[in-house]
Amino acid sequence: MEILANKMRPNSLKEIIGQEHLVGEGKILTNLVKQKHLCSMILYGHPGTGKTSLANAIVKELNLKARFLNATINKKEDFDIAIEEAKMYGDLILVVDEIHRMNKDKQDLLLPHIESGLIILIGLTTSNPYHKINPAIRSRVQIFELKDLTTTDIIKGLTRACDSLENIKIDNDSLKFIAEAANGDVRSAMNLLETAYYASETKEITKDFLKTIHTKPVFIHDKNEDGHYDLLSAFQKSIRGSDIDASLHYLGRLIEAGDLDSIYRRMSVIAYEDIGLANPAIGPKVMAAIEAAERIGLPEARIPLGTIITEMALSPKSNSAHIALDAALNDIKKGNIGPIPNHIKSNSTNYLYPHNYQNAYIKQEYLPVNLKGKKYFQPKNNKYETSLYNAWKERTGEKNEY
């Protein structure tokens, strides 16, 4: 029996739920399909945002020969067959799921055919392609991010699915419960609706009945609406404010929502924006915790995440380094730059090499002449930053106070 999520998979771009930035009148993918001039691309986004559905809709609208493969499951021989089919038909759309896991042999096989246009690649991934996809593939494709679906988007899809379920009785509150429980994943919403439908003898689906099936708490913070960003804001501000308990509370809510990517991104920002030079070791520690969490997955991922968030909340805080850079950027944007001093240009013979002098320091001007004496950096009063700054003053003989 065909599952509901597959049965409701869109056959055209008009049936795609959400993704208004990519599909619809005048939008890029709709225009490319309309002009019958598709480029190789990578579609990336969270699970259930419609990557496979969008690829399937593109294939059906163009009515071209297509082959769907998975980078981890399908062998090199399957990719060989796809290339031969492309040569036979003149061109081929090759849809590759989990493309971030494609090994070098498969990449080397496909690259010349993608470049020649014989194969139109549509890669699908939940991972950020700017981090996970080989640059050789990346340079030959366009990258499109699929946005997380809102509760309204998912209700629209569920309403459409209900029309295909005979004698179903369900109210708006129950549809909303399913949509919120899915947390942006339309496939998960379809699966919950289908399970409830076949588990009910009367085909009547109520909110109370759904709660007996879906026992995980529903967190009302849609990733495309204010609730999601409010939660991330509360998470960062609690760590910035050194409130350990609140930091762990909001971390827990994000973990329960399964939103590890947002946790990782926000942790990485906090390490440098809010803690910075007050505890410079925190950056590498955050990266190590993220790697550990990715390797072990949930539920155990909560252990390294809880440990590092506790240390981040306990850490002293400083924003001096990025504030200093912002001040420099502000000068640059205003055009306040000036020529680079001649003695530090690449072919200068007047450059004084600091390592040839005591304490690896010799006073010379590095800033453009119109910025001479400019002070961007303002140190904060914390143990590491103060000791670093005082050691700099002693080494350079700097007398001026910031």
The CATH number of whichever domain residue 24 belongs to comes to: 3.40.50.300
- Is 329 a domain residue? no
Say whether pTM exceeds 0.85: no
Range(s) of the domain holding residue 43: 4-145
- Is 320 a domain residue? no
Domain closes at, from 145, 180, 196: 145
pLDDT in tens, 178-213: 988 887 788 889 999 999 999 988 999 998 899 888
Quote the number of domains for the chain.
4
Question: Averaged over 382-401, what is the pLDDT?
Answer: 81
Q: CB of 238 within 8 A of CB of 246? A: yes
Please identify which residue in the block is written with the tokens 């996809």.
Answer: 133
Q: Per-residue pLDDT for 400 more than 70? A: no
**262 and 276 assigned to the same domain:** yes
- Is 219 a domain residue? no
d(CA 235, CA 268): 13
Q: Per-residue pLDDT for 225 more than 60? A: no
**125 and 15 assigned to the same domain:** yes
pLDDT category, 347, cuts 50, 70, 90?
confident
Question: Averaged over 244-260, what is the pLDDT?
Answer: 89
The candidate with the shortest Cα–Cα distance to 148, out of 19, 9, 55, is 19
DSSP 8-state assignment for residue 2: -
The CATH number of whichever domain residue 388 belongs to comes to: 1.10.3710.10
**120 and 157 assigned to the same domain:** no
The CATH number of whichever domain residue 186 belongs to comes to: 1.10.8.60
**141 and 14 assigned to the same domain:** yes
**130 and 65 assigned to the same domain:** yes
pLDDT in tens, 96-106: 999 988 888 88
Sequence-separated contacts (24+) of 165-168 with Cβ below 8 Å = 165/4, 165/193, 165/194, 165/197, 165/203, 166/203, 167/203, 168/197, 168/203, 168/205
- Is 218 a domain residue? no
Domain closes at, from 116, 145, 174: 145
* Model pLDDT, residue 223: 46
**240 and 290 assigned to the same domain:** yes
**183 and 260 assigned to the same domain:** no
- Is 12 a domain residue? yes
**31 and 45 assigned to the same domain:** yes
Question: Averaged over 28-50, what is the pLDDT?
Answer: 90
More confident position, 282 or 89: 282
Cβ within 8 Å of residue 217, ≥6 positions away: 256
Cα angle 383-388-393, degrees, rounded to a multiple of 5: 125
CA dihedral 264, 268, 269, 275 (to 10 degrees): 130
The CATH number of whichever domain residue 254 belongs to comes to: 1.20.272.10
Domain closes at, from 192, 213, 234: 213
**25 and 42 assigned to the same domain:** yes
Helix (H) or strand (E) holding 171: none
Q: Per-residue pLDDT for 21 more than 90? A: yes
Q: Kindly report the average pLDDT of the chain as a whole number.
A: 88
**18 and 106 assigned to the same domain:** yes
* Model pLDDT, residue 259: 76
Q: Per-residue pLDDT for 318 more than 90? A: yes
* Residue 225 falls in which region: left (phi positive, over 0), alpha (psi -120 to 50) or beta: beta
Please identify which residue in the block is written with the tokens 């495309």.
Answer: 224
Q: What percent of the chain is predicted at pLDDT more than 90?
A: 46
- Is 332 a domain residue? no
- Is 334 a domain residue? no
* Model pLDDT, residue 2: 74
Phi, psi of 214 (to 5 degrees): -105, 100
Q: Per-residue pLDDT for 253 more than 80? A: yes
Q: CB of 319 within 8 A of CB of 274? A: yes
Structure tokens at 227: 């609730």
**83 and 155 assigned to the same domain:** no
Q: Per-residue pLDDT for 71 more than 80? A: yes
Helix (H) or strand (E) holding 119: strand 119-125
- Is 377 a domain residue? yes
**113 and 183 assigned to the same domain:** no
* Model pLDDT, residue 219: 53
